[in-house]
Structure formats: C-alpha cells, structure tokens
Structure 1
C-alpha cells in the first residue's frame, strides 16, 4: 500500500486485524519487512502497520527531509490516513528515536510506546572516523556483511533473513543513508521526550553494540522516568530479526498489562 504523507509517497505494509494497532518503525538499514517475524506472532491479536521510512524500502526518496521531525511527520501522516483510533508506537533503533518524538507530542489515540534497541534522544558522540565508518557501512555487500557479523547481531541470522538485511541496506537511497549519521543521529530531542506520558517499555539486547544497555540506562531511561527496561539475553541490536518471538512476547505482555481492551466482541463475552 502506498500513502501520500508529508508530501512523500510512503510504502506501508499491513498485517493482522484488531481494534488496537501496532505502528512499527524500522531501523537504519531496514524496511517494513524487518517486522515480519514479529508481526506473524502478533497479527492474530493486533493490526500491524509497518512503514518504510522515506528513502528506504519502497518509499519515495526525496532529495532532502531526513531529520527526525521529517520522519515523524511521515509516520503521523500514515496514522492519520489510516484513521487509527488506538495505537501503540513500536520503534527500532532509528525508528525508536522517531517514535520518541511522535510520543512527546501526545497525539490522540496513542496508548503506548515500545522502544526496541532505540537510539537515545541525546546526540550520539562520534569521532570523524566513526562517522565515516557508519556512513560507509551500507555501500557494498561486503561492508553490510561485515556490519551484520561484527556490529549488528549477536545471534546468527538464517540465510533468508541475512539476505533480507543485505538487500534492504543496499537498496536505500544515498541521501537516506547519509542523513542518519550526519544529521538525525546528532539531533537532540531530550527536552521533547520529557513530555512522553504513555506507558513505555524499552527492549534492549544484552549484547547490543550499537545502543547498549548501559547507554540506554544513562541516556534514555532517566529522560522517560516511567519507562520499564526489558533485557533480552544473548541478543544484539537486530532483535526483531534475531529474537522475534521474544520481542513479540514482551510486546504482548506490555500491551496486556498497560493497555486495557475497550471493546469486547459478542463471542468473547459469552
């Protein structure tokens, strides 16, 4: 499905059904299909809406507009176009920073926030060399494979998922690849996230080398004080692909505990 949002054509993938929607925002290097394995575990209970950020997957790739606020506006437009009345934002890494900004605006219908290996709201301090390495991480098949094996994962991906990560990473537009390390990663939204007022859970991989447990404890959790932390043992940064069933279980438990069902169908009521 294609939705025109914020002046840009955004590709949207929907699965499942339910009165409550999970709006899933992917990481730097991914696409809407990053969430497929998590969605397959949850689609019997929820409507799963996964987007491709501008410049990624099958979404349009304008020349500019890759700040966190731009990506947030794209997602907000999709939510409005689909008429979602009740939803939980689920953001992974870069998508987690986008989700934090959206949640800070306290939009109507937002009932919860799930941050999966999220980029914290504070700027990431990188040396010029580190920034150059990150900027070049998705330029060739060899560079993507190196990043998968040495940075992104702690558990081996099966051949299909590994190939998916490589394809998604290489497919993205050059301007989208460059914008995260050079623009959005440097943005400071710490003041904004103090306004987040919905139930929030942070899911962190024990072995995450990108946005690790210690970083999240120092840079994110103090800024969203009511957020709970769940650590996935033996897992790296790509938990939606490394441990999708575990991620899905944590999400379902969080939703069940914090977001009451508002409609009971006749069969369930019997």
Structure 2
C-alpha cells in the first residue's frame, strides 16, 4: 500500500496485517525504503505489521528544500504516524535512521514502544566527521557512481564478504544499475544532518526498552561506539553479532531477525 502523508509528502508502505504494536523501519544515509524489501520486510512482516517510508526528498517523497536535521526527520516520522492513525510503534533505525530514531524517542516519547538502534551513534566523533566530510566532497566533485559504490562497500561490508569476488561484483552491478535514490545535493544534506546530530547528553532521557545491535567487524560504527551508546541509555541491551560489519542486517540477516523478533516478542507473539 502506497499513500502520501503531508508536510512534506512522504511515501510509505505497510506490510502485514497483524495486531499489536507496528514496527516502523527508518532507513539510513543514502538509502530508500526499497532497501528493506529484500530481507527485513519478508521476514519481519510474518509476525509484525511493518511500516516503511522514504525520508523527505528520497524515492517517492517530496523535498521541501533547504537544510534539515535528524530532529526534523523525526518530526516527519511523527507526522506520518499521525496520518496513518498510529498512536504507538516500535522503531528500528540504522545509521542515520538510528539517529532519527533517537530523536523520535526523545521528542515524541509517547509514540515509541521499543527502540532498536543498528550501526548508529549519538554524536559523530572526529573520524566519523572526517569521513562524512569526505563523502560530501566526493558527491560535490561528481565522482563516477562506481567509485562511490566501492567506497560504500569498503566501509560497510566485512572482510569475509569482500573476499567473495562474485558476490561483490553482483552487488556492485546492482548499485550501479539502481543508482542513488536521491540527488547528490540531498545526500550532502543528509550528511550535514548526521554531522549536526548530537543526542549524547540526552541519552539518559530515553526511557523505552532499547536494543542496540552491532556487527563485530563494523569499521564505520565500531563496537566501542555501540558499547558507549548502550551504556548511556538506561534500559538498553547490546548485542554484537560476529562475522558481520556495518551491514549486519544483510550479512547476518537470519541472526539479526531472530534477535529483533525476540526483543519485540510481546508484539510479535500477538
């Protein structure tokens, strides 16, 4: 089901028709809601009603223009919930989506039942800031998509996955075929939102039960950052999955789904 919500107009899909608390999936930097369709939606929607959507300016969502913050994106998500008549959801966010999920839990606490944070952080440290600035520069210089795709894969896939030449080549061809689901300029604005995000001093205000998931081999958001994130949230539980990097949701999909569904078992069991 695909319908718009206002201010800005957001495209969304609802998968599954289960009772209980729905699960809102919040996409990360440079991605669209299509990224959930291959793995997360088929598995999670077997037991949960799953809502996916595109951030402003991404895929089928309108771009109101101008800069925005992760707080703005969280407010967008809250307005989407209003449009759908959903009073309360559990929220799963990855990287930038995890930053938006933090803001949603802080700014709209009554709307969030449980929180799942994947491959994310509360504030970009010096290395992450340099990397985000590098990605902005790469986009502004109009580098070929192949170079951008290779850069993404180097930072998000484990060494074991990168060693699988045929698989990596298929993934690269898929990225080249599909392209970015947004303009280069919007990607830069998303990077700026990540750079400006700072929930570090407010994490102790997150009262929802929280699951923090990390790939053991994640170099983009390493385990140490996840340990600090989980330690700062009062009711947080950290799970580190071996054999996976930043794209833990894909590289260890079966284990990831088991962990998430176990955490959301009250809703999934209904």
Change (3 A) 1:161 1:40: farther
Question: Once superposed, which parts of structure 1, at least 4 consecutive aligned residues long, lie more than 6 Å away?
Answer: none
The separation in 1 between residues aligned to 2:118 and 2:110, in whole angstroms, is 22
* Contact preservation (8 Å) 1:22, 1:49: yes
After superposition, the CA RMSD in angstroms is 2.5
Aligned-pair distance for 1:30?
A: 1.1
Q: How does 1:1-270 map to 2 (within 5 A)?
A: 1-5=2-6, 7-19=7-19, 20-36=21-37, 37-118=39-120, 120-126=121-127, 130-136=131-137, 140-154=144-158, 155=161, 162-163=172-173, 165-166=175-176, 170-218=180-228, 220-256=229-265, 259=266
Change (3 A) 1:42 1:137: farther
The separation in 1 between residues aligned to 2:238 and 2:180, in whole angstroms, is 32
Aligned-pair distance for 1:24?
A: 0.3
Aligned-pair distance for 1:25?
A: 0.5
The separation in 1 between residues aligned to 2:54 and 2:170, in whole angstroms, is 19
TM superposition score normalised by structure 2: 0.85
Change (3 A) 1:96 1:77: same
Q: CA-to-partner distance for each residue in 1:186-223, whole Å, 9 max, x for gaps?
A: 332223332111110011011111111012223x1232
The separation in 2 between residues aligned to 1:192 and 1:165, in whole angstroms, is 36
The separation in 2 between residues aligned to 1:133 and 1:65, in whole angstroms, is 19
* Contact preservation (8 Å) 1:24, 1:91: yes
The separation in 2 between residues aligned to 1:39 and 1:45, in whole angstroms, is 10
Aligned-pair distance for 1:136?
A: 4.2
* Contact preservation (8 Å) 1:203, 1:232: yes
Aligned-pair distance for 1:14?
A: 1.8
How many residues are treated as equivalent by the alignment?
258
The separation in 1 between residues aligned to 2:263 and 2:128, in whole angstroms, is 37
Q: Bigger shift: 164-173 or 40-49? A: 164-173
Aligned-pair distance for 1:21?
A: 0.7
Aligned match of 1:268:
none
Change (3 A) 1:130 1:96: closer
Aligned-pair distance for 1:60?
A: 1.6
- Structure 2 runs not aligned, ≥5 long: none
The separation in 1 between residues aligned to 2:26 and 2:189, in whole angstroms, is 17
Name whichever structure is richer in helix by fraction: 2
Aligned-pair distance for 1:245?
A: 2.2
Q: Bigger shift: 67-76 or 161-170? A: 161-170
- Structure 1 runs not aligned, ≥5 long: 265-270
The separation in 2 between residues aligned to 1:164 and 1:116, in whole angstroms, is 23
Q: CA-to-partner distance for each residue in 1:107-140, whole Å, 9 max, x for gaps?
A: 334210001112x122332488644422145653
Aligned-pair distance for 1:61?
A: 2.2
* Contact preservation (8 Å) 1:54, 1:176: no
Change (3 A) 1:164 1:172: farther
The separation in 2 between residues aligned to 1:241 and 1:86, in whole angstroms, is 27
The separation in 2 between residues aligned to 1:260 and 1:127, in whole angstroms, is 35
